[in-house]
Each structure stands twice: as structure tokens, then as C-alpha cells.
Amino acid sequence: MQAVDLDAARHLDSTSTLIGPENSFNLPKIAEGSPDPSQAYFLGHSLGLMPRQSGQRLNDAISSWRERGIRGHFEGQSPWYRIDEEAIPGLKLLTGGTEREVVLMNSLSVNLHVMMQAFYRPEGDRKLVIMEGGAFPSDRYGVQTHLRVRDLSPQECIVEVSPRSGEHTLRTEDILAAIENHGEKTALVFFGAVQFVSGQVLDIEKITAAAQAKGCKVGFDLAHASGNIPLKLHDWGTDFAIGCGYKYLNGGAGDGGHAWIHERHVMNPELVHLGAWWGNDPDTRFKMQHEFEPVLRASRFALSNPPLFSAAAALGGLDVFVESARNNGGSLDALWQRREDLWQFLHATVSAIHEKMPTVFEIITPADPKEHGAMLSLFVQGKAVEIEKALCDEGFIVDARGDSVVRISVVPLWVSAEQIHHFGKRLHEILAATAL
């Protein structure tokens, strides 16, 4: 078993090959006083920390507004007229998309409706949506209400796939079986690429192929995937994906969402979707012509003039990834490797505790590197809130989902193995106390 003592932690930190991001983040004052190296922010899955780059971009936006007024649209570091296009390099890198396939716009839940309007096209007998039983509430409410405004019954039209009884993760074979059994009557297959409670990564490529073989459209929610796991959406051939800017992308609470849509759709002049002036070709936008002329790229789905400050904050978050790739041989492989090393260190730390108290908790996140990102979740029957509070009170910032799951994530941009080592010691004591 992997050593998890302080020496092993320091060794892992000193041999990291990841270059660059260490000075990008403001570590929040977690407890009174200055940041203590033994405290840690394990909550990148819920709200990322503030990148220095976002602060700079926000300051630039404020001074450009103050000093330029309307001229800010076309002058300055980041002219507002095309500010959304500055997100393209980062989003390409993170989604594995082409330049035409990515767009910074709206927030995730808005993008779900926009994409469903285009890609959920019920016809005759084909009107089902196959999705996860345990989907994030916003996704469930989004799909349910979307069906209702089209006069369809969510009860009749949604097929849910859930973990088997006694299990915490989905089986790919069960998702594929649902597609096999209902595919001919299904218009849309829609799953979270990374499950928000268990941290399980789904096999996007396999699910995409199975859904498309049955003639269904297929989309993924990237809320817990963008900035967390490598994606190759273009190669995998998925139809669309929607993402969130404030979790692993560190773009600040709220806006800064994104979408990825395959080239075969964005370049199709016949594609029908909701539109507005920001989806019009920017070269003819101000001709104020009568008919919508969509630009043949993902930004054809954009509706409004991008909100300047959300865009600035989100772009700062993307800058971190672009810089990381630039510093590490042009790819994010070093970042993913560091994330995996930290995750395995956390997993070994928690597994060592588990061996001593096997009945107190379970690790529910799959250990296979292809099946997890930065998050590791513990199932602690009925004790999650108590454990969350005990850890947070001591500066180990984690969260609880429901009564029984504690989520911990090791974002490689700011978490160290040494922090994980200190965390493990306290976690052990706290679990021992709750078990009494």
C-alpha cells in the first residue's frame, strides 16, 4: 500500500512536474489569522478559488468602462464587442473541441434549455429523454419543465437510470441497456459527464455511440467535468454539452457558463434553434438586417451582449488553464497527472483509515483513474453534516450532500499532498468520534 506519512507527502509535492499555477490563487482566510499551511480548500467542485488573472481582468474591465465609455467595445486590452471570443482557446483545450464548437455564454441551466430547444425534437413515437435518476436538481427541473411547456408529460417521457440497490454509482451496462431498450422511442440521451455526488466519470464515448446508433441526440452536463477531467468531445462525436464557469473553472459565482456543440450542427445552415442578436454573424450584426443570419459556429446560440464582468471573471479562470498548458509542453497532461497523484494519495490516506474502521464509512468514488476526477466522496450514514462541520471548523473545507455524503476534492491548482496528510489525521479522529 502507498505510504501516506508526512515524508511521503512532501516527496510527492517536491517531485511534482506541474509548473506555474502555484501563484495564481488567493487562498481564502479560512480561519482567523493568516492562511495556515495545514488548512486546505477541498471545495473546488462547488466553488473554485479566485484566480489572480480574474482580478486583473475585472480591474481592466472597470477602468475601461470608466475611461472609455462606448469606445470600450472596440478599444483596450479586451474590447467588449468580441470579449466572448477570448474564451475560445481555453474552452477548446478543456472540451477537446474545435474553435467553432465552443462558446462562453449564459449559465448552465439556461444553456440546458437553449440546447434542449435545438436538440430535443420529439417526433411521433420518439419523444423520451433518458437521463439519470439522481441528476442534479437543476437538470431534472430543467428537463421536466421543458417537457411541460411543450405539453409533454415528464412522467411519461423521462426514463431514469439509477445505481442498483445497495450501490452508489451507475453501471455503464445499465445505461447502455436503457438505450438498447428504449432507444427507438428516445429523442434525447442526457447525462452528467461527472456525477455530482459520487464523482463518477461516465464513459461519454460509449454512451454517445450507443445513443447515436439508435438515432437519438446525446448531450452531457459538464458542470463537474470542465477543468476537472480531460475531454475529447469532438472526437467522441457527442451532439452537445453544457458547462458551468464557477466550479473547476474558477470563474466566480453565478455566470460564465459555456456550451460545446459539434461542428456538424453549428455549420449546418438549416439547424433550427432559439436565436437573438448575439448569435448573428458579428460582421453583419450592426447592419440591423431583418432576418437572423446565424454565424456558423457555436456562438450562433448566444443570445445577448455578454455581461462584461462575468465574462472578465470567467476569462481569468480560463487563463489559468491556458497558461498551465503553455508552461507544461502545450497540454494539460501535467495538470491531469498531478490531479491523479493527489487523488491517489487521498485515496490511500482514506483507505488506511477505512481498514481500521471498515463499518463506519465507505468510499463511493471509483478508484479506476478513468472513472474519477478530483473529487472523492465518502458515504457516512446520516453523519455527513456533523463531519462537514467538524472539518470546516478546523479549516479543512469540504461539503456535505444530503445526510450521508461528504465530498472532498483535490484541485491540483492549489491543493498539496502535505495538506491531504494533515487532513487525513483529523478525518481519522473525527470519524472515530462520530462512530462512538
> What does the binding site for ligand PLP look like in residue numbers (CB under 6 A)?
107-109, 136, 138-139, 192, 196, 221, 223-224, 244, 257
* Phi then psi dihedrals of residue 419, to 5 deg: -65, -40
* Tally of residues, the chain: 436
What's the min distance (Å) between Cβ of 43 and ligand PLP? 13
Give just the sign of the alpha carbon dihedral 340, 341, 344, 349. negative
Cα 416 to its chain centre, rounded Å, is: 21
Task: List residues bridging with 258 in a β-sheet.
Answer: 104, 243
Nearest CB to ligand PLP, comparing residues 107 and 328:
107
Nearest CB to ligand PLP, comparing residues 135 and 295:
135
Which set of grid coordinates corresponds to residue 356?
481500521
What's the min distance (Å) between Cβ of 293 and ligand PLP? 29
What's the min distance (Å) between Cβ of 226 and ligand PLP? 11
Nearest CB to ligand PLP, comparing residues 108 and 430:
108
Give just the sign of the alpha carbon dihedral 289, 295, 298, 299. negative
CB 328 within 8 A of CB 339: no
Nearest CB to ligand PLP, comparing residues 100 and 407:
407
Give CA–CA dist 295/301, Å, rounded. 9
Instruction: Give the 3-state secondary structure percentages of the chain, helix then strand then coil, rounded to 5.
Output: 45, 15, 40
Start-to-end CA span in the chain (Å)? 28
Q: List CB contacts of 18: < 8 A, sequence separation 6 or more.
A: 324, 328, 334, 335, 337, 338, 412
What's the min distance (Å) between Cβ of 164 and ligand PLP? 21
Nearest CB to ligand PLP, comparing residues 202 and 295:
202
- In 318-417, the DSSP E strands lie at 362-363, 375-379, 396-397, 399-401, 405-409
Give CA–CA dist 390/354, Å, rounded. 19
What's the min distance (Å) between Cβ of 48 and ligand PLP? 12
What's the min distance (Å) between Cβ of 247 and ligand PLP? 6
User: Taking the C-alpha atoms of 324, 330, 336 and 337 in order, what is their torsion angle to the nearest 10 degrees?
Assistant: -110
Nearest CB to ligand PLP, comparing residues 244 and 430:
244
β pairing state of 258-261 and 102-104 = antiparallel
What's the min distance (Å) between Cβ of 371 and ligand PLP? 17
What's the min distance (Å) between Cβ of 135 and ligand PLP? 7
CA distances from 85 to 51, 95, 101, 294 (A): 20, 15, 12, 16
Nearest CB to ligand PLP, comparing residues 249 and 325:
249
What's the min distance (Å) between Cβ of 199 and ligand PLP? 11
Q: Which of 426, 403, 335 is nearest to 374 (CA)?
A: 335
Nearest CB to ligand PLP, comparing residues 198 and 328:
198
Nearest CB to ligand PLP, comparing residues 18 and 313:
313
What's the min distance (Å) between Cβ of 300 and ligand PLP? 21
CA distances from 371 to 16, 65, 241, 404 (A): 22, 45, 19, 21
Nearest CB to ligand PLP, comparing residues 190 and 414:
190
Nearest CB to ligand PLP, comparing residues 224 and 297:
224
CB atoms within 10 A of CB 235: 10
What's the min distance (Å) between Cβ of 45 and ligand PLP? 8
